[in-house]
């Protein structure tokens, strides 16, 4: 149930995102050119497994033009993982549930291997002891199509947790059932991941629908483990990042070329962890090179790059480079902000009982910005 207040709040937030574009449209009313509405209808949440922020900075960024393009929007290279975990599965659960691992509202999933079967501890809700809602619940319940396209078998946990048996009843508007994930695909092939994602959002757009896709590239992490996060041009880690960048480039080119998608697809890109402590892993949650990660929001068009911490001076606190603040300290921007940001981009409410960005207060444009008329 959503109160009129909630609705008004969401419309206000929507205006915070789209206001500058709307005003741009109004301001150009005398022009003979009509500008297409920039309303976001498709959101892709991308996690590049083991992506260190240095890859998005000079000079390394020069070889990653597609991720460089995604920097043309609000972003930070000083985001944080979960304070207690710098391994894969707990951080991705954080992204899709808007919860940290620990605490009374924590998601409680610390394991990082293929999960047991449902009924044997193999759903997120079983582990927590009560239902843990996700971005897939909110999207599916609001008639938004959902996809999970991932590169590691352990993500079967998401399918198990939100399937036709273990997903919650849909009590919002039309009944879309308990199965919250419409398409669930595991693939180690980078090109297949982007192809499946593009097909899903295009099929949705053709039907006039909206979609939310969670996309995961595993290869950089696998190469990072093998080569101790070596950034050299010829390193396997760097080659894996370039391959992911090429795949994102192909995705962006296809979106650009498609009138049904151009300007309507937002991309949120982050990572589950960095890597290098110990040298061939990322298990030390106190190591800055493990817990410091990028967080990018590309809002369907190339914008002036902006710093998310500067946009959110009251809502988030830029942490000291050596710190990953605990839940009771002023909060940094985290990978687990991504879920509720993704929903906000679609004009959807926050994940029920989420604690990270549960108020959807992480702004993407400055509150006091006055659009140029
Ligand atoms: Zn990982």
In the prediction, which pLDDT does 318 show? 98
In the prediction, which pLDDT does 372 show? 52
Q: Per-residue pLDDT tens, the chain, 373 aa: give them.
A: 344 444 444 544 544 444 444 333 333 333 333 433 459 999 999 999 999 999 999 999 999 999 999 999 999 999 999 999 999 999 999 999 999 999 999 999 999 999 999 999 999 999 999 999 999 999 999 999 999 999 999 999 999 999 999 999 999 999 999 999 999 999 999 999 999 999 999 999 999 999 999 999 999 999 999 999 999 999 999 999 999 999 999 999 999 999 999 999 999 999 999 999 999 999 999 999 999 999 999 999 999 999 999 999 999 999 999 999 999 999 999 999 999 999 999 999 999 999 999 999 999 998 765 555 4
Give how far Cα 327 sits from Cα of 80, 105, 356, Å.
Answer: 12, 11, 9
Establish how many alpha carbons lie within 13 A of residue 100's alpha carbon, considering only the half-sphere containing its beta carbon.
21
For the chain, the domains span: 4-11+38-345
- Residue 173 C-alpha to ligand 1 middle, in angstroms? 36
In the prediction, which pLDDT does 192 show? 96
In the prediction, which pLDDT does 367 show? 76
In angstroms, the CA 280 to CA 272 distance is 16
Give how far Cα 36 sits from Cα of 3, 11, 39, 43, 369, Å.
Answer: 31, 20, 9, 18, 22
Q: Looking at residue 62, what DSSP letter applies?
A: G
Closest CA to 86 of 124, 35, 49, 57: 49
Give how far Cα 304 sits from Cα of 151, 184, 298, 299, Å.
Answer: 32, 34, 10, 11
- Residue 307 C-alpha to ligand 1 middle, in angstroms? 25
Tell me the three state secondary structure of residue 214. Answer: strand
In angstroms, the CA 215 to CA 63 distance is 22
Furthest-apart CA pair in the chain: how many Å? 64
User: 198-231 burial by CB neighbour count: b if 16+ within 10 A, else e?
Assistant: bebbbebbeeeebbbbbbbbbbbbbbbbebebee
How many residues would you count in the chain?
373
- Residue 189 C-alpha to ligand 1 middle, in angstroms? 16
Exposed, middle or buried: residue 79 (CB in 10 Å: 0-12, 13-18, 19+)? buried
In the prediction, which pLDDT does 279 show? 97
Closest CA to 270 of 293, 299, 251: 293
Identify the CATH number of the domain defined by range 4-11+38-345.
3.40.720.10
- Residue 302 C-alpha to ligand 1 middle, in angstroms? 28
- Residue 297 C-alpha to ligand 1 middle, in angstroms? 20
- Residue 217 C-alpha to ligand 1 middle, in angstroms? 9
In angstroms, the CA 52 to CA 42 distance is 26
> H or E segment at 216?
strand 211-217
Q: Note residues around ion ligand 1 (Cβ under 5 angstroms).
A: 49, 88, 221, 272
In the numeric block, which tokens belong to residue 231? 């950034």
Closest CA to 268 of 37, 117, 45: 45
> H or E segment at 149?
strand 145-150
- Residue 86 C-alpha to ligand 1 middle, in angstroms? 8
The H-assigned helical ranges of the chain are: 4-27, 65-70, 88-97, 124-128, 135-141, 156-161, 190-206, 219-227, 236-256, 288-291, 308-311, 338-345
In angstroms, the CA 265 to CA 255 distance is 8
Strands (DSSP E) contained in 24-125 are 42-48, 74-80
pTM of the model: 0.90
């Amino acid at each position: 149930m959503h109160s009129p207040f909630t609705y008004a709040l969401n419309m206000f937030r929507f205006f915070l995102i789209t206001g500058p574009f709307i005003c741009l449209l109004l301001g150009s009313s005398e022009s003979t050119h009509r500008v297409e509405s920039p309303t976001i209808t498709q959101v892709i949440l991308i996690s590049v497994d083991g992506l260190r922020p240095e890859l998005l900075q000079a000079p390394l960024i020069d070889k990653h033009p597609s991720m460089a393009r995604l920097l043309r929007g609000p972003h930070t290279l000083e985001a944080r993982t979960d304070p207690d975990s710098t391994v894969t599965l707990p951080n991705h659960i954080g992204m899709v549930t808007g919860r940290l691992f620990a605490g009374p509202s924590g998601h409680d999933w610390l394991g990082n291997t293929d999960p047991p079967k449902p009924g044997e501890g193999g759903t997120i809700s079983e582990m927590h002891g009560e239902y843990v809602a996700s971005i897939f619940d909110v999207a599916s319940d609001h008639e938004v199509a959902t996809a999970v396209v991932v590169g590691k078998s352990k993500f079967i946990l998401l399918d198990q947790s939100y399937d036709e048996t273990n997903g919650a009843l849909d009590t919002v508007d039309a009944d879309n059932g308990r199965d919250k994930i419409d398409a669930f695909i595991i693939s180690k092939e980078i090109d297949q991941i982007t192809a499946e994602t593009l097909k899903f959002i295009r099929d949705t757009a053709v039907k006039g629908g909206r979609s939310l896709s969670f996309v995961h590239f595993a290869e950089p992490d696998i190469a990072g483990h093998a080569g101790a996060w070596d950034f050299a041009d010829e390193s396997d880690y760097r080659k894996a990042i370039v391959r992911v960048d090429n795949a994102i480039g192909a995705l962006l080119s296809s979106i650009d070329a498609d009138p049904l998608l151009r300007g309507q697809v937002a991309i949120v890109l982050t990572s589950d962890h960095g890597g290098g402590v110990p040298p061939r892993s990322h298990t030390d949650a106190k190591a800055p090179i493990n817990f410091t990660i990028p967080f990018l929001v590309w809002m369907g068009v190339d914008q002036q790059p902006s710093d998310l911490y500067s946009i959110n001076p009251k809502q988030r606190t830029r942490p000291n480079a050596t710190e990953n603040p605990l839940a009771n300290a002023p909060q940094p921007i985290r990978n687990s902000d991504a879920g509720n940001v993704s929903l906000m981009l679609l004009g959807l409410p926050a994940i029920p009982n989420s604690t990270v960005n549960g108020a959807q207060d992480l702004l993407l444009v400055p509150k006091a910005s006055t659009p140029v008329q």
